[in-house]
Homo-oligomer: A and B are copies of this chain.
Amino acid sequence: MDNEQDISSNAVTDHELGFRLTMTDEQTAARLGRLVTQRGEIQLPAFMPVGTQASVKSLSPDDVARTGSEILLANTYHLMLRPGVDLIREAGGLHRFMAWPRPILTDSGGFQVYSLAHRRKVTESGVEFRSHLDGSKHQLTPERAIDLQLGFGSDVIMPLDDVVGFDSDAPIQDVAMERTHRWLNRAIEHFGERVEVDRNGDRPLLFGIAQGGFDGQRRRESARRVSEVPVDGCSIGGLSVGEPKALMLEMLEHSMSELSDDRPRYLMGVGSPEDLWQSVALGVDMFDCVHPTRVARRGALFTFDGRVNVTSARFRRHFDPVDPLCDCETCQTFSAAYLHHLFHAHELLAYRLATIHNLRFMQRLMSAIRTSIESGTFKIEMQTFLNRYRVADVDRAAEQKQKWAIARGLPSS
């Protein structure tokens, strides 16, 4: 692909919406671009913080914006159960309800139904389940998943996919993949019927999801099929569920090999700082992950040397910021010793200050990635980052193990 080529989305084309490729790195598959949504554009590659229940845990929307985030993700499964789509629609939509005027991407709920809900039953029509909150009975179909997200007023919508255990037998994987693509076709058709294009030609964007478990051929097949249907972007699902990093990257490479270049590629649920560099190198444009916010609430803060835990004894008298070079509000205002104290005193402010730092770190990382692509130094800067950044630790390993267990349908302790 040529550099500095500006490609319009060949999906449901209209207005200025969709993906714009600015340039592609010469040494890797890294790409620089932007995604134009009905609520403004986002710079790519982008990291999206997760606001599961219409709130990025512990932060106000202003806090999130000040970290540099241009878009956030919310979870359809959680919102459909509480407060429900009718209430959000009455409130004037999700953006107004949570006072976040910028773009929002929502997932379809498929993964949470698989990992959280009770008594899940999949049929060709869709999936029936009981709420993990109160046991109430609900149904999610490809059509209903679209309606819910249109009801929220999402800017980027995901289709329902059939999620199965990632070490399921090959026949089960095949059935799930075939169903996922039949459901995608139903989603596209329903989206076409229901979506409202406004006077400016604006509308939400609809992505497809490529699955395929941990089989390279199935990954390529699924990605190829998503590339053949008229969607605004391609998501890669089912990765970073606890498998070894090398396997994740290998599977990602299979998926990427068949995805068309003219649409944004969104790697769902990834990831940690090292994952972002390596996935961008393979051509990924968008990420989301609860990791930075979740570990923040346990006191784990990102630095360019790796994660540090501010609750550990060595920070008790550390009167400098956690990262003296960080420009986040936390590091600009408070010492590591104060954060250490807040965590040990169980003060609520601890969770917010740590979350601000980690989300700002992710945005500084994405900014560094974009700048390096632009200046042609992406590959060497990735190496520099990976050489310096101390990956993983006991916490992370435990978290991975838990996700892996969930993905296999095992008790996750």
Residues of chain A whose beta carbon lies under 8 Å from any beta carbon of chain B: 53-55, 57-61, 78, 82-83, 87, 90-92, 97-99, 316-317, 319, 333-335, 337-338, 341-342, 344-345, 347-349, 351-353
Contact = CB atoms under 8 A, between A and B. Distances in A.
A53 to B, nearest CB: 4
A83 B316 contact: yes
Given A82-B341, A98-B338, A99-B334, A90 B348 contact: no
Contacts of A344: 82-83
Given A61-B333, A99-B338, 13 more contacts: A53-B347, A55-B342, A57-B349, A58-B349, A59-B349, A60-B353, A87-B316, A87-B317, A90-B317, A91-B337, A348-B348, A348-B351, A348-B352
A175 B57 CA distance: 52
Contact of A97 (B54, B59, B335, B351): B335
13 contacts: A54-B338, A57-B348, A58-B348, A60-B352, A60-B353, A61-B333, A82-B344, A83-B344, A87-B316, A87-B337, A91-B335, A97-B338, A352-B352
A276 B352 CA distance: 32
A331 to B, nearest CB: 12
A64 to B, nearest CB: 11
A341 B60 contact: no
A293 to B, nearest CB: 11
A334 B333 CA distance: 27
Is the contact region of chain A dominated by helix, strand, or loop, or is it mixed? loop
Given A58-B349, A99-B333, A333-B99, A91 B53 contact: no
A349 B97 contact: no
A352 B56 CA distance: 13
Contacts of A319: 90-92
A338 B59 contact: no
A288 to B, nearest CB: 18
A404 B352 CA distance: 35
Contacts of A90: 317, 319
Contacts of A55: 342, 345, 347, 349
A97 B353 CA distance: 14
Nearest to A78: B345
Contacts of A351: 348
Contact of A91 (B338, B342, B348, B352): B338
Contacts of A97: 335, 337-338, 341
